[in-house]
Amino acid sequence: MKAFFGQIGRTLFFLLAGISRLFSLFLAVCRVVINSFYQPRVIGREHVAHQMLSMGVDSVPIVAVASSAVGMVIALQAAYQLKMFGAVLYTGSLVSVSMARELGPLIAAIIVSGRVGARIAAELGTMMVEEEVDALKTMGLNPIAFLVAPRMLALALMLPCLAVVADVCGMLGGFLIGTVGVGINPYLYLAKNFDALVLKDIYSGLVKSGIFALLIGMVSCHEGLAVEGGAEGVGKATTQAVVTSIVLIIVTDCLATAIIYYALPT
């Protein structure tokens, strides 16, 4: 029994310590970003632009394909169930609301965490192993401003854009199945699709995407900068960054949905 409670205590300690380190990293990035308003050269704009290109633009194809497939699956499942109640016309409503509120931001965040988060952790971890981060400190450069802030800014800017791409592609996939596969009139499908959407559905998804971006950036950068032990440490950090990011994304999505749709006034 003592060993059981001891394990629980150690787990809680490591959890709180990890949260504390992530919060410290977030505060350090915030200080760098605030200083960049007074000293524009603190964060290199070319670094941010390069990260935006590799993180956002290069992720568009896979996000579009995955979200289109998910939209098709939702339309197939919804039409099958709604047909029993004579409400197959509301297939478009279900697809559009599901994509805008939850699935669009979630799909984009999970894909980015696997594609971009792993790369960030591997890049920074390799730099730690090869002592490049220590070299930056020796030259008087702040690693947070030079390595972490550009990546987090790029993620915060591009992940909401990718969520919009996921929303649109998912709705198009649902439209294709609903009109061609199920046989719903295209005009009726579009009418029901846009009647169900409200502004709150769209901005709630964008807000969650911004939160997901910060989580992915903080976790990936933290794991990369904490690497020890050579190539094996880089591999562990990469795996840990992806797993932790996905778990935090799902938990945060649940909490954000509960707050936005149940705690806040409509």
- What is residue 176's predicted lDDT score, i.e. its pLDDT? 92
Domain region containing 172:
2-263
- What is residue 5's predicted lDDT score, i.e. its pLDDT? 60
Number of separate domains in the chain: 1
Separation of alpha carbons 198 and 100, rounded Å: 10
**Is residue 265 helix, strand or coil?**
coil
Terminal-residue alpha carbon distance, the chain: 48
Average pLDDT of span 143-161: 89
- What is residue 105's predicted lDDT score, i.e. its pLDDT? 93
Q: Are 104 and 166 in contact (CB under 8 A)?
A: yes
Q: Max alpha carbon distance in the chain (Å)? A: 71
- What is residue 235's predicted lDDT score, i.e. its pLDDT? 87
User: Per residue in 110-139, pLDDT tens?
Assistant: 999 999 999 999 998 888 888 888 888 888
Q: What is the pTM of this model?
A: 0.89
User: Per residue in 82-105, pLDDT tens?
Assistant: 888 888 888 888 899 999 989 999
Separation of alpha carbons 153 and 150, rounded Å: 5
User: Per residue in 168-207, pLDDT tens?
Assistant: 999 999 999 988 888 888 888 888 888 888 888 888 899 9
Give 60's pLDDT tier (boundaries 50, 70, 90): very high
Question: What share of the chain in percent tops pLDDT 70?
Answer: 91
Residue by residue, what is the 3-state secondary structure of 62-126? HHHHHHHHHHHHHHHHHHHHHHHHCCHHHHHHHHHHHHHHHHHHHHHHHHHHHHHHHHHHHHHHH
Q: Are 162 and 56 in contact (CB under 8 A)?
A: yes
